[in-house]
Amino acid sequence: MAERLVGKQAPDFTMDTALGNGTDFGRVSLSDYKGKWLVLFFYPLDFTFVCPTEITAFSEAVPEFAKLDAEILGVSIDSKHSHRVWINTPRNDGGLGKLNFPLASDINKTVARDYGVLIEEEGVALRGLFIIDPDGELQYQVVHHNNVGRSVEEALRVLEALQSGGLCPAGWKKGDKHLAAK
């Protein structure tokens, strides 16, 4: 049985990145996000079919996440060099184009394994999305099969619900009432 991560300190990481400008590389650690919310998502591979739809949707939504004091980090097992080439490939040619957040390289698969999303026999990650609070505690995780893309709107809704501090019923949206504790 997989170890429970929600409600515990998020597994630490340090990874190389390709910055969304398509030119520069960087290095990122969980500690870089202390004091902010982090939406960390894993995807299987660069140059695939579903992944660009998610990655570009998250990139376009960066201003909405920023309003919630949240940053985004995408992760796959590809190299930072592969990430940079994919960012520099135009969208109409199967690429991403410039992004508003970095893509991290988990080439040794340690981070995917630590977060419980690595498909060992294939050497790729499942689609895992994790929301980590400003104190580094994992507040939310959802993991699903690789042929179904994620909803950016749902990630935003869940982040707002987590930040609301109340009991949120199904379908809760910002401005809705919380449930009363009994």
Q: What's 94's domain CATH number?
A: 3.40.30.10
Give 15-33 pLDDT, tens digit per residue: 999 999 999 999 999 999 9
Output the average pLDDT for the chain. 92
- In a domain, residue 157? The reply is no
Token representation of residue 64: 């909405």
- In a domain, residue 1? The reply is no
- In a domain, residue 41? The reply is yes
Residues with catalytic function: 51
Maximum C-alpha span of the chain: 55
Q: How many domains does the chain have?
A: 1
- In a domain, residue 79? The reply is yes
Tell me which residue of 64, 71, 136, 140 sits closest to 104, measured CA to CA.
Answer: 71
With tokens 């869940």, the residue in question is 158
Cα 58 to the center of its chain, rounded Å: 9
- In a domain, residue 38? The reply is yes
- In a domain, residue 53? The reply is yes
Contact call for residues 52 and 95 (beta carbons, < 8 A): yes
Range(s) of the domain holding residue 89: 14-150
What's the mean pLDDT in 126-145?
Answer: 95
- In a domain, residue 135? The reply is yes
Split at pLDDT 50, 70, 90, the class of 97 is: very high
Q: Is the pLDDT of residue 92 over 90?
A: no
Give 157-176 pLDDT, tens digit per residue: 999 999 998 888 888 888 88
Split at pLDDT 50, 70, 90, the class of 178 is: confident
